[in-house]
Structure 1
Amino acid sequence: MGEKNGREENGEIPFGLNMQILSDELEALGISHFFYRRDEGCLRGIRFFQKGEKLEEFYVYMVFSDSMQEDFRSCERISFLVLDDLPIERFSFTSSIIYVTGITEHLQFYNQIQQIFFKYEEWERRMCWAMRMENPLDQMLLICREIFGNPLFIHDPDFYILSCPYHTGQMLQWEKAARNGREMVPLETINEFKVDEEYLQTLKTRSVSMFSASLRGYRVLYMNLFDGEHYEGRVCVDEVERGFRRSDYLLLEYVGKMVQACLKKQRLFWLNMGSDVEASFIRILKGEETDAQSISDLLGYLNWERNQHYLCLKLIAEGEEFQYMTPDGIFGHIETQITNGYAFFYEKSIAVVVNLTLEKAEISEILSRLAYFLREGLFKLGASSELFEFDQIREGYEQASVALQYGRRSKSMIWYYHFEDYAMAYMMEQASRNISPRLLVSGVLRTLKEYDEKNHTELYHTLELFLQLERNTVQTAKELFIHRSTLFYRLERIQKLTKLDLEDPGQRQYLLFSFELMREFSKS
């Protein structure tokens, strides 16, 4: 019993057979028998009856003809497999008895019973194993289908499907909820349940019960799940592949206990996880969170997925109003506008991670939603590019920081800055950290500048505009207020001076980068 209690504390609920399970298994084997008096599930094995031995309620005892004169009435709450016609009056009314006829090979029959116990011991072991898996409910229901011979599913109080790993065409077809994309019982069926007296009565039952075939065309064995007085949903078995057995009631009771233990374990985990979400995000931004399981737990808590698209935001306060706002007030304002985001304090600023996939909005729309809050709260905001997986969050926050830094440096009057608007300036600054901008730019530009200064020409500006307009001669001539023939003359002169090959896309890209770097260099 001490071992049993220890296993229950670890969430591993032991399973005991009852005589009804043995009776149903014997029937499946085609062994003729009669069963008297049902019992609770507590059996862990089989033993031969021996006179004078102390009998225990955790075993079923096999009785042979040599015990015909034995009186078993003093054996309270003991289970017997009787292989001869021993009068039932010889047994206590608290005992459960299966009379088996036509058995000649006693040892073979004993082994058959032993195999039944082995079958359910293995089921119990696999159920306890499933409790430790990443998707325990799915694993448990798949294992249970082998025992019940029918598909199982679990739904919550709002009819969302918590688990249904195996679905047949005979079952109800789940619908996708428009609000969150989760599978749920069809709305039409839910509305039928709301006015069905039989269904409304089932919500109060605490034991395994049967729901008739009146609504669905097949029966459903179910067990309601409760946390104290709070209804949490139910686990159901649909009678669509084999007929129900009486023993299915006890089996589903065990499944219900395991599911409740699993849900309780998840609630405790999410309770602890809820207080650790901010700390997890901070570790990610610092580059300290590399444990795959911790990140998986965080995503599970938020109902996010690793390969969804994300956006990082960084906010800082420009005025004193910030210090008078509570964290809940600030985060409440932000999360009212971004329902699929998480906001938290990080290094004297506010970090926001947005799930773009679930938010179903463009970055520009999200920034527009926050404009009023930014303006009224005197905040400035930096936004990353669109991130294509959760693992890019740390780099995305770096992008948001860069956008904020460069945006504020530009003295722009807008309240938010997008990284892509400042990416070129950032790349140029990074490129010139170890090499002077004068040496980074193409020598062609210096050649043209020197030629222009000496000859009072505009070859430098002509080439810059020509490349910016993607070598469109008509548009370039128009912008320069010159004739096209003059433009062709200038381009020919540039080619002779520099030996440029403007058909080479690499050269064109380098020249454009050089022009941009020269502009930034001249500003500084």
Structure 2
Amino acid sequence: MKLSMWILADWLGEFAPSLHIIEGKAGLTGTRLYSAGSPEQDPSAAIIGDAAQMLPRGSRARTDAVLCLNGEDWLLFDHGDVGVILNACLEAFEFYNAWESAIKDVAYASPDAPFEKLLDLSSPVLKNPILVADWKGEVLAISRNHKPIADRETWGHWVDQGYFPSYTYDRLKNYPQFLEDMNRSEEIRIFDFPQFEYRCIHFSVRYNNETSLYVHIIEDDTKLTEGLIQVASVLKQTIAIVLDRSNVMAKTNQIVSLFSDIIAGKYPERDALVWVRSQLGWDKSKTWYLVIFRNFLPESFSETALLEVLKKQVRKGCSFIWENHPIMIVDCEEWSVAFPKIKKLLGGSGFCCGVSMPFDKQKDLPFALNQAKLSMELSDGKNTIAMCEDCAWSYIVKEIKSQITDMQMLHPAVKVLQEHDRQTGGQLTRTLYEYLRHERSADATSKALFIHRNSLRYRLDRIEELIDADLNDPDTRMYIILSYEIKEMTSS
């Protein structure tokens, strides 16, 4: 393992060195004594010797001071024994090399995800509690040899519930710079939440270009330093090896696998759902649409290509493949923005899509999927975007028409007016239908029928004489309207 002057400063902290670190890169592979006969530096070694010999003439250094030097970086010790500092540095290289070998042996040897073993081996090195959680906030491992942290509530939730608590994301929203880093950045950095007495080294590990794991090294026993951040980078590299070699990602692959599970009838833990919704920017969303896409021209561009474009075009959408069809779940408020983009994208592509009714609970995803499929089937490719809201009424009428017509259960008023029109050539049947459809508005009904309001008044008076129905009763009006719809559908 390559060390840095920051790491050596932490290791040699008991000697209270004065620090002058400009670069501090982790590129040191060893240490050696300073030799006046060979003063040139080795960029991969920490040079140790008497400060008076190593520093330029005229420098103010105690005659018994010891200097540890690499490039422009140095540690100055008020300690007269060069051998003690040299041996301490040698112990540092031996210690960290042994640790790196141990954790990488575990990473390469274990078929499953050995996170507990990695944390047990890393706790003496990082000297603080360590947490590993997956993309949906499920805690995979916590270092076992540490007491609870200052934020006892959060610690207890990790241990007892096995998830990031749902309030975690609410806290993060107060620190937008951390929230952005958590979702987008792979950089190792310190997160500081003084309000909650929580300070940690945070990093995420990606797999297949998606965030797979989060790791927190929580400041508790030892202060977090630049040196610890560099040590954490070795742990991160090792965890990446674990993800590449183990089968853990078969179980915890992408955020979309959570929605796939819901569609399949497997409902997740509440904390996991809250965490994932927050990552998608849905923490304030109230309703969603499910959109399913189908390709009617196989020679056009592929489902995978469409999926990649959708991910870029729709900001608050979650897109994935389900049973060979692209699916997107999108915030209803985002739909007004997404609609023209999708319509333009699908134009001439051979694809069309079906859109579900709005839903407000993720557990309703299976119903939303069926609605989206239905709207696409009823459209039969005639509409690029088929909304379930537009076809729901005709579907309902179609489903119940056979039962009502077979039982002769249309409202009697419809039959009476039909017979009157057949005998007289009148239009009372259509007049009543338009009158009810336009919510008994005389102006709207007159315009729909292209007649004068006085003519409409005459027709309505005649209808009232012929039928035995209370049009002030909403149930009666609904029954008559439904009867008309079924009659028209049966006739066609």
- Normalising to structure 2: TM-score of the pair? 0.52
Q: Secondary structure at the match of 1:361?
A: helix
Deviations 1:223-267 (A, max 9, x none): 746799xx9776346xxxxxxxxxx439999xx99xx89x96997
TM superposition shift of 1:389? 1.4
Aligned to 2:46: none
Q: Secondary structure at the match of 2:376?
A: helix
Aligned to 1:312: 290
Query: Are residues 139 and 464 of structure 1, via their aligned partners in 2, closer, same or farther at CA, if it must alter by over 3 Å?
Result: farther
Higher relative contact order at CA 8 Å, sep ≥6: structure 1 or structure 2? 2
Task: Show the 5 A alignment for 1:241-390.
Answer: 248-249=221-222, 271-275=249-253, 281-282=259-260, 284-285=262-263, 288-293=264-269, 297=272, 300=275, 303=279, 308-322=286-300, 325-347=301-323, 350-356=325-331, 360-362=333-335, 364-390=336-362
* Structure 2 counterpart of 1:505, from 474, 478, 486: 474
Counterpart of 2:369, as a letter, is Y
Do 2:133 and 2:215's aligned partners in 1 also have CA atoms closer than 8 Å? no
Query: Are residues 498 and 139 of structure 1, via their aligned partners in 2, closer, same or farther at CA, if it must alter by over 3 Å?
Result: farther
Do 1:311 and 1:384's aligned partners in 2 also have CA atoms closer than 8 Å? yes
TM superposition shift of 1:448? 0.5
Task: Show the 5 A alignment for 1:138-149.
Answer: 143-145=148-150
Residue 489 (structure 2) pairs with residue 520 (structure 1): yes
Counterpart of 1:177, as a letter, is P
Query: Are residues 404 and 495 of structure 1, via their aligned partners in 2, closer, same or farther at CA, if it must alter by over 3 Å?
Result: same
Tell me how far apart the structure 2 counterparts of residues 352 and 468 of structure 1 sit (CA, whole Å). 36
Query: Are residues 225 and 393 of structure 1, via their aligned partners in 2, closer, same or farther at CA, if it must alter by over 3 Å?
Result: closer
Aligned to 1:480: 449
Tell me how far apart the structure 1 counterparts of residues 450 and 440 of structure 2 sit (CA, whole Å). 16
What is the Cα-based RMSD across aligned positions, in Å?
5.4
Tell me how far apart the structure 2 counterparts of residues 226 and 184 of structure 1 sit (CA, whole Å). 9
Residue 418 (structure 2) pairs with residue 449 (structure 1): yes
Aligned to 1:83: none
TM superposition shift of 1:319? 1.4
Aligned to 1:466: 435
Do 1:400 and 1:419's aligned partners in 2 also have CA atoms closer than 8 Å? yes
Do 1:309 and 1:386's aligned partners in 2 also have CA atoms closer than 8 Å? yes
Deviations 1:92-114 (A, max 9, x none): xxxxxxxxxxxxxxxxxxxxxxx
TM superposition shift of 1:382? 0.8
Q: Secondary structure at the match of 2:352?
A: strand
Structure 2: stretches of 5+ with no match in the other structure = 1-128, 156-163, 183-187, 206-213
Deviations 1:65-111 (A, max 9, x none): xxxxxxxxxxxxxxxxxxxxxxxxxxxxxxxxxxxxxxxxxxxxxxx
Query: Are residues 386 and 142 of structure 1, via their aligned partners in 2, closer, same or farther at CA, if it must alter by over 3 Å?
Result: farther
Query: Are residues 270 and 354 of structure 1, via their aligned partners in 2, closer, same or farther at CA, if it must alter by over 3 Å?
Result: farther
Do 1:221 and 1:236's aligned partners in 2 also have CA atoms closer than 8 Å? yes
Counterpart of 1:144, as a letter, is I
Tell me how far apart the structure 1 counterparts of residues 249 and 262 of structure 2 sit (CA, whole Å). 20
Aligned to 1:426: 395
Greater CA radius of gyration, 1 or 2? 1
Aligned residues with identical type, % of pairs = 18
Do 2:292 and 2:328's aligned partners in 1 also have CA atoms closer than 8 Å? no
Query: Are residues 145 and 370 of structure 1, via their aligned partners in 2, closer, same or farther at CA, if it must alter by over 3 Å?
Result: same
Tell me how far apart the structure 2 counterparts of residues 174 and 342 of structure 1 sit (CA, whole Å). 21
Query: Are residues 128 and 494 of structure 1, via their aligned partners in 2, closer, same or farther at CA, if it must alter by over 3 Å?
Result: same
Tell me how far apart the structure 1 counterparts of residues 166 and 435 of structure 2 sit (CA, whole Å). 63
Aligned residue pair count:
325
TM superposition shift of 1:291? 4.4
Residue 374 (structure 2) pairs with residue 405 (structure 1): no
Counterpart of 1:318, as a letter, is F
Tell me how far apart the structure 1 counterparts of residues 200 and 367 of structure 2 sit (CA, whole Å). 48
Structure 1: stretches of 5+ with no match in the other structure = 1-126, 153-161, 167-171, 186-201, 205-214, 238-247
